[in-house]
Amino acid sequence: MQTWQIVLLIVLAVLIVVAVVLYFLGKRLEKQQDENEARLEVGKQTVSMLVIDKKRMKLKEAGLPDIVVQQTPWYLKGSKVPVVKAKVGPRVVTMVADEKIFDLIPTKKEVKAVINGIYIMDVRGVRGAQLEKPVKLTWRQKIRKKLLKAQDDNKAARKAAEASKDKDTKKKK
C-alpha cells in the first residue's frame, strides 16, 4: 500500500467516527429539546398585550431580570436575543421571543400571545387572525420606491404651482 492510500484510509476512518459522534450527540440534543418544549407547554397561557418595541440585543443589555442573566451559560451571555418590550395589563414588561416568531410580531399593535413566564411562544392578531411576515424589500426595490415617491411629489408640486399661477393670472384680469 502506498502512503497516500494509508492517509486516505485514516482520514476516512476519522470522518466516520466524527459522523457517528455527531449522530448520537444530535439524538441527545433532540431529546432535551423535546423535554424543554413539553415543560413550556405545561405552563403556557394566553394574554393580550400591546407591543411597544422589539429588537435583537445582547442579553446583558436587554433589561431582563438578574436571575435570567445569572442562569444563562457564560458562552451565551454575549449573544443577541430577540427582545420584545410590551404592555401586559398595566405593566410594561421586557420579554424574550421565540426566534421563529420574532419577525411576525408587529410593533405598536395589540396582539394575543401565548407566553410562559417571560418567553413568548406564539403570536396571533387580536381577532385571532394569523399574522403575516412583513415583506423585506431588496436594495434595488427600496431605491425604486424612493424614486417613484420623489417623482409623484415633483408632479404634485408642479400641479400646485400651475394652479397658483392660474389663480394669480385670473386675479390680475
Look at residue 49 in the predicted model and tell me its pLDDT: 93
What cell numbers appear for 70 in the block? 445569572
What is the residue extent of each domain of the chain?
1-42, 43-125
Query: What one-letter code names the amino acid at 108?
Result: K
pTM check: above 0.85: no
**pLDDT truncated to tens, each residue of the chain (173 aa)?**
788 899 999 999 999 999 999 999 999 999 999 998 888 888 889 999 999 999 999 988 888 888 888 888 888 888 899 999 999 989 999 999 999 999 889 989 899 999 998 899 999 887 767 777 777 889 999 999 999 999 999 988 888 888 887 777 776 66
CATH class of 43-125: mainly beta
Amino acid at 59: L
Which candidate, 47, 71, 49, 51, places its Cα nearest to that of 59? 71
Separation of CA 49 from chain center? 17
Cβ–Cβ under 8 Å, residues 83 and 54: yes
CA distance 101 to 87: 18
For residues 123 and 111, the answer to whether their CB atoms sit within 8 Å is yes
102-105: long-range contacts (C-beta < 8 A, 24 or more apart)? 102/54, 102/56, 103/133, 103/134, 104/131, 104/132, 104/133, 105/51, 105/54, 105/131
**Residue 38 gets which letter from DSSP?**
H
The Cα-based distances of 153 to 17, 29, 157, 160, 166 in angstroms read 66, 56, 6, 11, 20
